[in-house]
Structure 1
Amino acid sequence: MKGPLGSKYILEEVIGRGATGEVWRGRTHEGERLAFKLLHDTLARDPETVNRFLREGSILSGVVHPHLVRVHDLVVEGATLALGMDLVEGSDLRAPLAAHGAMRPGDACAVAAETASALAAVHDAGVVHRDVKPENVLLDGRRTPPAVRLTDFGIARIAEQTGSKSTMLVGTAPYIAPELADGQPPTPATDLYALGIMLYEMCCGVTPFADRSTLVMLQHHGHSAPGRPPGMPGALWELIVALLAKDPAARPAPAGRVAILLEALARDLEAVPAAETLTEPPAPVAALHDADTALSMRNPGRDSGGTEPAGRRGGRRGRRGRTLAIAAVTAAVVCAVAAGAYAATRDPGSDTGPGPGPTTVAKSGDGPAPESPPPSSARASYGPNQVPDLVGMPETQARALLPPSVGVQIRREAAPSGSPDGVVLAQDPKPGADLPTTLQLTVSSKQAIQYLADIEPSAGDTVRTGTEAANLRLSGHPQLHAIGVEGSPCGNETGSVEYDLGQHYTRLQGLAGLDDNSPAAKAQVTVEFYGDARKLKSITTTLGKSQDLEVDVRGVLRLTLRWTFSGGDASRCDGGTLVLGDAQLVAAAGYVPPSTESPTPTLPGG
C-alpha cells in the first residue's frame, strides 16, 4: 500500500516482513524519516486486537531508552493498524551472525548488556517483550561500534488473538522459555531466558537446543540443560546457565542487574578471542531439578508422561505459580549473587576449555555436583537490622545483601595490583552497626573514572563544586566530589547545565538527593538527564530520600542536566541544595581522562 498513511505520513518501501506484519520505510510530510510497522489486516479486523492496540500502544509510546526503537505514533485507519517508529539504518543481529559466525565473548556480552538495559526499561513500563531474538535486535550503523536498538517489544501482546487462538505459543521456538511451553503467562524472566539463549548463540553460532523438530526443541527447553561449547569462558558460562534456569524465579533479575553483570563481563573478556563457530550445539544434558520447580510439558497431575487437556491444567499451574512467587525474591537474589561473584572474581582466561558442567547439571552416571557455599558463609553473622561485612565481596553481591531501604553510595578507586575489578575495598559504617539510610562502599575499578565535578561546564547555570561543595551531605555522609545546585520551590524554579563528554564515557553513576542542611523539609527536586537532546533518565528526590544514580551515556557528545524545584511550605520560600554526590563518569575502553583532583571531605572517623 505504497502511498499515504493516515493524514501525516507517506509509505515508501517495504524493508521487512514478519509473523505479525510488514515494516515500511516512510516519512512525514515535513520529511522526517520513520519506520512503520503495519499489522496484518486480519488483526485489524479483530475488535479485541484493536482495543489492545490502542491500550498497549499508548504504553509503548511512553517507553524511551537509548537502546530501544522508540514508538512515536499510533495509526488507526480503516483496516490498517500501524506503529510509527524510529528508522534504524543498519542490519539486525542475525546478519553478522550469519556472515561471520561466533562473536568474541566480550563483544557478545556488550551486545547482550545493551539488550538487557533496553529490557529493563520495557519491564519497568509493565511490558514483556515475548520475542527476544537476533532478528529483533537492530544494530544502529550510525555509531561505531554499532549500538543495539531492541525492536518489536510489546507487539506479541498486541497481536495475541482472542478465542481459540489464545492458547497458541507466542515466541520463536529456539528462544522460547520452558514456562511458556508449559502454558504459563510470560513474565520479565521469560525475556531473560531468551536473552540467555541469544547470548549462547552469539558465542558459538548456534542456539543450545537447535533441532529440525520444533517439538524436540520444546522438550529440551523443558527437560534439558545446555551443553557447554568449547572455548566458553567460565564466568560467562555460569551466567548463561543461570539465565537458562528452568524455574523463572531462579534466573538473575531484574534486567537492569543483568545488564550490569554483562557490562562487567564485557570488560573482563575484552581480549578473549572468538571460539569456533558450531553448526550443531553440544548435546544437551539432563537437568537436575526437583518436582516443585520442574517445568516440563508432561502431565502435571500424574507421575508418568502423557498430555493433559489444557482445561484440566489450571489448578496445578496456579499452585505452582504461588510456590514460585514465594520463592522468587530469595531465588533471584541468590542467582544474582552467584553470577556477580563469578563476573568480578574469576580470571576470564583461567577457564576457557570445555571443563566440568555447572553445579546444576550432571551427566549420566554422575552424582550431583556439590554446591559451593556463598562467599559470605565464613563471615561473622549480624542481625537483620545490622550492617553485614561486605569487604572483599563483588559489588553486585554486596548490593544484593542489603535491603532495598538502604541507599548505596559507590566510590571507585584503582584496583590494587593483582586484585579483581568490582570488589568492595572498604565500607562505612563498619560491620555490625545499625543499618543506615545510606551506606558508602569503596569499590575497586580497572576502568578509568572521571568525576563530573572535575569537568568544566560548557554552558548553563552556576553550580557548586570543589571547596564550595566539600561540606554537602546526604543522610549524614559527606559527598565526595560533589556538585551542588541551589534552588527554591517558589515558582517551580528551574535550571540547567551542560557538559561536553565527547563520546568518551559509558555511564554516569553516583547518588542524588537534597543536602541534609536544606531548610525546606518538604521541598522536592526533579532532575532530567539528556544526551544530545535525547532524554536519558529522570529522577525525583526529597530531603532524606536519596536516589541511586545510573545513567547510560554511551555515545553521548553533550550531556545536559535540567532540574526543577517544587513542593515546600506554601507560607515560606525556603529552598534547598540539590546534591550529586560522587558523580562519576566511567570511561570507554581505551580512553584515559585528563588528570584532575577534587577536594575530598574528611569522613567521620577518618
Structure 2
Amino acid sequence: MHPVDSHQTPSPVAEEPTVEARRVRGRKRKDREDAEEKGKKRRRSSEPTETCEASGDLARAKFLDKYWEYDQLGEGGFGAVFAGFRREDCFPVAIKHIQDKHCLPPLCLHGKELPAEVAIMLKLAAEKDDSAGMSAPIQLLDWYDLSHELILVLERPDCASDLADYTAVNGGSLQEWEAKNIMRQLVDAAIGLEKRHIFHSDLKLQNILIGIGRISPCVRLIDFGLSEIVQKDTVITRFRGTRRHMPPEWYYHSEHMPGPTTVWQLGIVLYEMLHKSVFTTRGFLNKELKISSGLSTDCKHFLRLCLKMAQARRPTLTELQRHPWLTNCTS
C-alpha cells in the first residue's frame, strides 16, 4: 500500500470571477439577446411585406380583369398615362401609372391616409355641385394600390387634346375671342378649386384638356399630382409646380401663396395662348417677353394684372371673373 500523501492536489474550485469577466459575460449575453430580438423583428417585418405584395398582386389582377390598356398618351415626372377601355361597356378611360407611390405625399381624408392625388380627387368628387367650373376637374373612376405602384383610372373625354397641342394645331396661337372663352372657363374652375381649399399648383397648357367635339371648346383640368389642400392665403415655403413658371415672389423670397400663384399661372396660360413663344419667369423679369400690341385694351389689362410682379397687387380670382374682358361678350 502506498502511504496516503498528505500533500494531495486539491480538487479544482471555481474562482470568483473578476469584475471585468462579469462585464464580458454580460456583454455577450446582451449581444445574444439583441441578436435574438433582431431575428424576431426581421421575421415580424417580413410578414407585412409578404402580405402587401400579395395584396398588390390581387389588386393588379382586379385591374386587368376590369380594364384594357393600349397606347401611351403622355408621360410626366411620376409616371405615364395610357389610353384604355372598361371591358364591360368599352367606356374610354385614361390609365395613370405612378411607378413609386411614395413620391406622393400622403393626405388624410375623413380620417384615412391616402396618396395625395387620390385624396384630392375623391374630395372633388364628394364636394361636386352644379356651380360653374366644378365639371372641369377630370374624374377619378377607380384606383388600385399595387404595393409600390399606384394605378389611377380616370375619365377620358372623347375628341380632346391638351391645350398645348390644341394651340400648336391652330398655328401656335389662338384668336383672342377663343382664348377668352377658354380663360373664362379656367377662372371658373380655379374658383371652384379655391372654394374647396384645393391648390392645383401646376396650371399650364399641358394640364388643360380641350374638348373639340362641340361648337365651343370645353375645358377640363388634369394632373392633380402636385396639388395640395390649403387655404388660399397660406404662405408656402416650397414650390412644386413647373420651375420655369415660378412666380416672382418665389424667385426672390422662396415663398408664395396659393391664390396669387394661381392668378400668375392663369396669366402664363393666357400669354402662351396668344403669343407664339414659351413663357419663362426669368425671361419676363428680364423684360425679354412683350405683350402683343395687337390685343384689345381689355385683354392687355387683364394679362398685365395676372402678371403683376407684386403678389399683393394681383387681383383675386373673383375679381378676375368680373373683369370687363371676360364679362364683355362683344370683344
Same fold, TM-score > 0.5, yes or no: yes
Give the Å deviation of 1:224. 5.5
Task: Give the distance between the partners of 1:141 and 1:204, measured in 2 at CA.
Answer: 21
Matches within 5 A, 1:45-60: 48=106, 51-60=115-124
Please state if 1:97 is matched with 2:167: yes
> Partner of 2:7 in structure 1?
none
Higher strand share: 1
Please state if 1:85 is matched with 2:154: yes
CA 1:63 to 1:193, structure 2 compared with 1: closer, same or farther past 3 Å? farther
> Partner of 1:23 in structure 2?
81
Give the Å deviation of 1:84. 2.4
CA 1:179 to 1:47, structure 2 compared with 1: closer, same or farther past 3 Å? closer
> Partner of 2:8 in structure 1?
none
Give the Å deviation of 1:196. 0.6
Matches within 5 A, 1:55-454: 55-62=119-126, 64=128, 65-89=134-158, 90-99=160-169, 100-152=171-223, 154-157=224-227, 169-181=239-251, 182-209=253-280, 217-218=281-282, 220-221=284-285, 227-254=290-317, 256-261=318-323, 262-265=325-328, 267-269=329-331
Task: Give the distance between the partners of 1:199 and 1:258, measured in 2 at CA.
Answer: 13
Query: CA deviation digits over 1:409-444, x for unaligned, max 9?
Result: xxxxxxxxxxxxxxxxxxxxxxxxxxxxxxxxxxxx
Letter in 1 for 2:96: K
Task: Give the distance between the partners of 1:175 and 1:184, measured in 2 at CA.
Answer: 14
The 3-state SS of whatever aligns with 2:161 is coil
TM-score (norm 1): 0.37
Give aligned pairs, total: 249
CA contact (8 A) 1:25 1:34 kept: yes
> Partner of 1:497 in structure 2?
none
Q: CA RMSD for the aligned pairs?
A: 3.1
CA contact (8 A) 1:57 1:74 kept: no
CA 1:241 to 1:46, structure 2 compared with 1: closer, same or farther past 3 Å? closer
Task: Give the distance between the partners of 1:61 and 1:169, measured in 2 at CA.
Answer: 26
CA 1:246 to 1:71, structure 2 compared with 1: closer, same or farther past 3 Å? farther
CA 1:178 to 1:218, structure 2 compared with 1: closer, same or farther past 3 Å? same
Letter in 2 for 1:34: V
Give the Å deviation of 1:139. 1.0
CA contact (8 A) 2:245 2:265 kept: yes
Task: Give the distance between the partners of 1:242 and 1:24, measured in 2 at CA.
Answer: 38
Task: Give the distance between the partners of 2:150 and 2:309, measured in 1 at CA.
Answer: 36
TM-score (norm 2): 0.65
Higher helix share: 2
Task: Give the distance between the partners of 2:212 and 2:222, measured in 1 at CA.
Answer: 15
Task: Give the distance between the partners of 2:243 and 2:302, measured in 1 at CA.
Answer: 22
Structure 2: gaps of 5 or more residues: 1-59, 108-113, 129-133, 229-235
* Higher CA-based Rg: 2
Give the Å deviation of 1:242. 0.7
Query: CA deviation digits over 1:125-162, x for unaligned, max 9?
Result: 1111111111111111231232111212x31137xxxx
Task: Give the distance between the partners of 1:179 and 1:45, measured in 2 at CA.
Answer: 26
Task: Give the distance between the partners of 1:3 and 1:25, measured in 2 at CA.
Answer: 18
Task: Give the distance between the partners of 1:250 and 1:107, measured in 2 at CA.
Answer: 27
CA 1:62 to 1:246, structure 2 compared with 1: closer, same or farther past 3 Å? farther
CA 1:170 to 1:224, structure 2 compared with 1: closer, same or farther past 3 Å? farther
Please state if 1:33 is matched with 2:97: no
Task: Give the distance between the partners of 1:36 and 1:63, measured in 2 at CA.
Answer: 23
CA 1:169 to 1:3, structure 2 compared with 1: closer, same or farther past 3 Å? same
Task: Give the distance between the partners of 1:189 and 1:250, measured in 2 at CA.
Answer: 9
Task: Give the distance between the partners of 1:85 and 1:141, measured in 2 at CA.
Answer: 19
